[in-house]
Structure 1
Amino acid sequence: MSTLEGFEAQLRDLPKVSLHDHLDGSLRPSTLIELASEIGHELPSADPESLQETFRSNANSGDLLKYLEAFAHTTAVMQSAENLRRVAREYVEDLAADGVIYAEVRWAPEQHLAGGLTLDEAVDAVQAGLNEGTEAVEEQDGVIAVGQLISAMRQADHAEEIVELALRHRDAGVVGFDIAGPEAGFPPSRFASSFTRLAQQMLPVTVHAGEADGIESVRSALVDGRAQRLGHGIRVAEDIALTSGPESRSKTGDGGEDLIEVELGPVATWVRDRQIHLETSPTSNLQTGAVSALTGKSPSEMPHHPFDMLYQLGFNVGVNTDNRLVSGVTLSGELAALAEAFDYGLAELADFQVNAIEASFLGYEEREVLAAHILEAWQ
């Protein structure tokens, strides 16, 4: 076992928080193969390890279309209540095996109606699976809680309907709302009335922004989307000017250049000063080209990620997986990779867990209890 693998194993036993993880990007390869066989859907491979490697290779190809190919396969098998329930149950069990004690899982019910389900039936099926998974973890003396984030697809223009769906289920497992899908060309301003409705009903919102589009997308998420958190959000770094020279040194997220002065633009200032949580997904951000868009380096590697620069400047950052199957990652693995890239110890990695739980859509008392538990365990 390598040093990195040993550290990842150590992290697996510590309590962690996941706020940005897509249900349809996190199936077990073996489950995907079994369900695809049942419905006659052809996959790139019928061997779990080979299938995982195909998805991982596509994700690392630098081609976003190849990265997205996996979702045509996963959503194809998630069109019945039975299959949604199973995928959700296993999702919880797999998170718990990685040491996650609180998670918010996002998914778009409108993409799971081909088998005849209604939107409400789809949400109920996923919630039933989440409940079963939680109970199974508790039976093994584990602890985990999972809430649903209901996503509307930006390109589909069903936001008003999906908002009402989320509101109907807010007391039955739904903890918040999200918009996903193509970021460029579909700004949150297109759905301003839907976000107003959510604000009036006081259901919290996270918005995918600052991943596949730049700083104006982040601005729209904050202004039009009233986002309490930013999904990824790393391109807020476009609004940060660095002046380098020999007088002082700091990590910049791009090789540790010398740093004299940092100037934050208005959007970056707002995000930092208001402590808007950034739901970063380091490996996914590299794979989808979000980091390359910032650095001009293609392919980019973990030391190029702006995560450390943002952390050093006081931004509220968290660590997530985005799509565990597609990217071939775990939350423990992501933390270990960041620790290797930026020389973090357990104290820094614990900070990211506390940031995440405090930015979660749980109630105040629940957040306080879990934050205390996390700090005690990580110490």
Structure 2
Amino acid sequence: MKTVLCADIGTTSLKAGLFTADGEAVFLCRKSFPQPDDRYVAREWMGALAAAMEKLNQEQKASIEGICISGAGPTVVLDDGLTFRWNETLNGGQSGEVKVQSPRGEVQSTQVAVPSSAARSLFLPRILELKNRFPSQYASSSRVFSGPEYFIYQLTGSALTILPEARFEQAYWNDDAALACGIDLGKLPGFSAPGALAGKLTQAAAAELKLADGLPVFCGAPDFVVALIGTNTLQAGRLCDRAGSSEGFNFCIDKPFFTPETRTLPSVIPGLWNISVLSAESGRIFVEYKHRLEKERGAVIEYPQLVEAALKNPQSEGGKIIRQILEQVKESVGRLKTALAANGIAFPASMTVTGGQAKNDSWMQLKANALGMTLEICNCPDSELTGDACAAWTGLGVYGGLQDAANHIVKVTKRFTPNENL
């Protein structure tokens, strides 16, 4: 069986999977980083993938044709592994406050003096912060990477930056913006596209992962981009709910518009765009409730069990939290619906859901009932990995592009329709 090995680097763990060319996930696992808050956490990524490979070799025998890497952006990593994570606060202490928005939509204030030419960049304010906070390490470095590109560098020795599509340049950098920030252009690797060949697996990396050296390694993309590829949210009118500890509703459009209530970025497909609304607290509230309850009881509680208990006891704390979350979700979807309607765009009757929430059937049915729309789950709820598979099989020449790959690989396997009797 021919497969590709896909890995997505998160904030606290690495997800890995093997995918066939028709989208079957023959192996999936997650490995936590021993010290996710360590300043050099990027050095733990290879060990996490090696642990995943050890588990894979025990459970599955498959031919691996290539590797694809994605990860949380815009995490910034120096070539020695010093890591400035995507969710760290920008507080460099210099004059000139600038509002910076993360890919997930959170707005942060920074006192770092970011030139106006770089104000829309997701990366330059963080590189500048890293430079100001760790001046000696920055000065001695030869490269500054985004997260997945650092891991690709570890695997192949190749230095590059994955640019999802040409229109993303403003969200990354150009020479003028980088120079205005006082950032050495020589430290910034050149751009490559998702699905491009990044390099070949080195002997050292192959030995650690117990893989054949010379295996091709392909560019994935930032996690929020590969998640949309992995749900095939690549055609105008498609809607995706990326639902984890935070939640983002992403709608694909063919004519961009901008509102204070929404966030618009280019799609990875030329000519298309994604407009999104964030529900930052929806998943986190329930996660915190689960952790607190586990601490009180001294035992692990599975999410389905917790949801079922909350549904059976609507007046319990869990029941009240669920109602609170659903109201937040409805409000976020309502904001997106209003923005689309104001621009003459019909709201769809169905929505694809990906992320941790998509693995809980009880929660999905409750959400479908609350929103009054059909929720669809794809063949792999971890759509970042599916998006990587699309990029890898495109790079291997099996498909003619990301859209072609997604049309063949991404499949809806489960639907939750709203209960009209409620």
Establish whether TM, by shorter chain, passes 0.5. no
TM-score normalised according to structure 2 size: 0.30
Which structure's CA Rg is the greater one? 2
Q: Which has the higher helix share?
A: 1
Of structures 1 and 2, the one with the larger relative CO (CA 8 A, separation 6+) is 1
